[in-house]
A and B are shown apart, each in its own frame.
Chain A
Amino acid sequence: MLRYVARRLLTAIPVLWIIVTITFFMMRLAPGGPFSRERVMPAEVQKMIEERYHLDEPLVKQYFRYMGNLLRGDLGPSFRYKDRSVNEILAAGLPTTLQLGSLALLFALLVGIPAGCLAAFRQNSAVDYAAMSFSMVGVSVPNFVVLSTLIYFFAVKLKILTVSGWGRWDQMICPVVALGLMYSAYIARLSRAGMLEVIRQDFIRTARAKGLPERLVIIRHSIKAGLLPVVSFLGPAGAAILTGSLIIETISGVPGIGREFVNSALNRDYTLTIGTVILYSGFLIIFNLAVDIVYAFLDPRIVYE
């Protein structure tokens, strides 16, 4: 298992390298630059700034300089925020994004799994139809529509919640629910399907034939096997939630790295854009690895060589 984890982390290195390289050259080959929007500067000032950020060097040299710094963990200075390094900006935004993402995922699991299980155990009942209609709506309504609707009703009309910002519960509910809703719907569908698959398995009949109380048949014998599809969905869900957080952070004024990513890309803040991409990719790689480990832990048939 340890060897497996080590190997996965090792294969992550070339992947990250590819990502960094693609991002680096995509940004540099794009028209416009970090300072081109500002008023025309005197040539000496422009030259001074370019020298400071090494923009006057050949692109390949800049690339190797950047990669060298990256190996030392230095993501470089920001081009837009004067006197702040990318490391500082990301360190400031990361906790917020992680908080938003994990709360949304938690919300998705806490709503999706019970809804799906309930629907499966009461298949073709009103509960089942209600849960499945809810999930159909959930997978069909874009998160920004959900967020805007929530804000409109709860913040603008009823004034219970706050329109934007982050930190207090009344600021957090709208973004978390909007971000998590779609995945709660997917999880509900997956857990329903998984449970339905499991409860018609032979081993459930064995458990009943042993005279186990229904409670144990469900909790001990069904849930673990039935929710395996949900666990394997967590990888893609994590990626999608991160992507979704871009839009949610932008709309709701949540000071996370998602907002920084969009803004920095628009502003040609090269280093900050690459920094966010690295952070997101690295996070996804670790998250996916963690999901696979948890999966192996839950399903003894999976053996990682």
Chain B
Amino acid sequence: MAEPVLSVQNLVTRFHTADGVVRAVDGVSFDLMPGGSLGIVGESGCGKSVTHLSFLGLIPQPPGKIEGGKALFNGRDLLAMKPGDLRRIRGNDIAVIFQDPMTSLNPVLKISLQMTEGLMIHKGASRAEAEARALELLRAVGIPSPEKRFHDYPHQFSGGMRQRVMIAMALMCEPAVLIADEPTTALDVTIQAQILELIQKMRKEMGVAVILITHDLGVVASVCEDILVMYAGRVVESAETGPLFARPLHPYTFSLLRSIPRLDAEQKERLFSIPGLPPDLIHNPPGCSFNPRCPFAVKRCFREEPPLTEIEPGRKVACWVDIESKKERAT
């Protein structure tokens, strides 16, 4: 079997704030195969973004602190690297697309400059080479007549176009890993599908491995081969996409799936929403973090934290309850 291009093992990131220690990422592990695609799903504030910002060295320190774990990129531990070496990997080998294309591009600099500067820094490309590459990518991501738009400023583009520019910019250095952090959340629904398609297309054409971070299970379903479900800074379930949708094993995954609106549902049926709020990560309840909101919780869930256990090949879940047997009662 091939080696993973990125292997995160037991990552722990905490924020030391005036109100207490926020356990933002609490022992997250996953592998990403070359050219593979992994979806990380969870509610906002569950640590999805902090995970990748941590191993890229992009969390503000202090108050943030990475307190454990490894993040092996092609066998080299990103967390143990000197800042300068990590910088040479950022944007070059691992590129990121952020959520809001309105604010993620510098409003006072031209698109041409923002797109080319990475390639010129990382690969020592000349301006002309970098511009040629940028134009080629802008064309590939579907910007009409890129030569004309190349020297425009971000505010002259629509939201969807800006996100296309962000994607093209991220691909400039032909990275091995592309992290898309909620790339469609700030966009119109019609544009969302186009952007997801584009990410798919670029992944296939360039062979870049993709991590897609989202709170929307519907988004990952169409793009990712594997899915990681996070809750309160921890991984609660990981599986291939098909089996996860067919047979969710963690109550949280189960609830997430039920809260997706379905066209084939009866009109009368109210859309399910998970009761309660996610924990505040400072005062985690004892036992399983999900216990206050879990319809299946048993006594053990309030005492002991369930470990992430492999229960079938390729499937891991952190839950004490055999959810299959109790599903009837919940519905």
Q: Which A residues contact B (CB, under 8 angstroms)?
A: 201-203, 205-213, 216, 220-221, 224-225, 228, 298-301
Contacts and interface: CB of A to CB of B under 8 A. Distances in A.
B103 A203 contact: yes
Contact of B58 (A201, A208, A299): A208
B121 interface: yes
Contact of B121 (A206, A211, A300): A211
Given A205-B58, A205-B98, A211 B109 contact: no
A221 B106 contact: yes
Interface centre among A206, A207, A299 (most CB of B within 10 A): A206
Interface centre among A209, A220, A224 (most CB of B within 10 A): A209
A209 B95 contact: yes
B105 A206 contact: yes
B153 A301 contact: yes
B47 interface: no
Contacts of A301: 107-108, 153, 155
B91 A225 contact: no
15 contacts: A201-B103, A202-B104, A203-B104, A205-B104, A208-B58, A209-B56, A210-B95, A210-B117, A211-B90, A212-B117, A213-B87, A300-B108, A300-B155, A301-B153, A301-B155
B121 to A, nearest CB: 6
> Which 4 residue pairs spanning A and B have beta carbons closest together?
A211-B91, A211-B90, A210-B91, A202-B103
A210 B94 CA distance: 9
Given A220-B109, A301-B155, A210 B118 contact: yes
B286 to A, nearest CB: 35
Interface string B91-118: 1100110101001111111000100011
B122 interface: yes
Contacts of A205: 58, 98, 104
B108 A298 contact: yes
Contacts of A208: 58, 90
A36 B88 CA distance: 80
B109 A209 contact: no
B144 to A, nearest CB: 21
B321 interface: no
A201 B100 CA distance: 11
Interface string B198-214: 00000000000000000
B5 interface: no
Nearest to B87: A211
Contact of B91 (A209, A221, A224, A300): A209
Interface of B: 56, 58, 87-92, 95-96, 98, 100, 103-109, 113, 117-118, 121-122, 153, 155, 166, 169
A202 B108 contact: no
B117 A209 contact: no
B70 to A, nearest CB: 21
A220 B31 CA distance: 36
Interface centre among A203, A208, A298 (most CB of B within 10 A): A203
A146 B115 CA distance: 49
Contacts of B95: 209-210
A209 B100 contact: no
A209 B178 CA distance: 11
Contact of A211 (B89, B100, B107): B89
Contacts of B89: 211
A300 B109 CA distance: 8
Given A209-B95, A301-B153, A301-B155, 10 more contacts: A201-B103, A202-B104, A208-B58, A209-B56, A211-B87, A212-B117, A216-B121, A225-B107, A300-B107, A300-B153
Contacts of B166: 206
A296 B293 CA distance: 53
Contacts of A228: 108
A212 B105 contact: no
B51 to A, nearest CB: 14
Contacts of B106: 203, 206-207, 221, 225
Nearest to A301: B155
A208 B60 CA distance: 12
B155 A206 contact: no
A201 to B, nearest CB: 6
A210 B90 contact: yes
B100 to A, nearest CB: 6
A209 B105 CA distance: 12
Contacts of A202: 98, 100, 103-104
A299 B110 CA distance: 11
Contacts of B169: 210
Nearest to A200: B60
Nearest to A224: B108
Contacts of B113: 220
A129 B155 CA distance: 36
A2 B121 CA distance: 38
B121 A213 contact: yes
B116 to A, nearest CB: 11
Contact of A216 (B103, B108, B117): B117
B293 to A, nearest CB: 31
Contacts of B118: 210-212
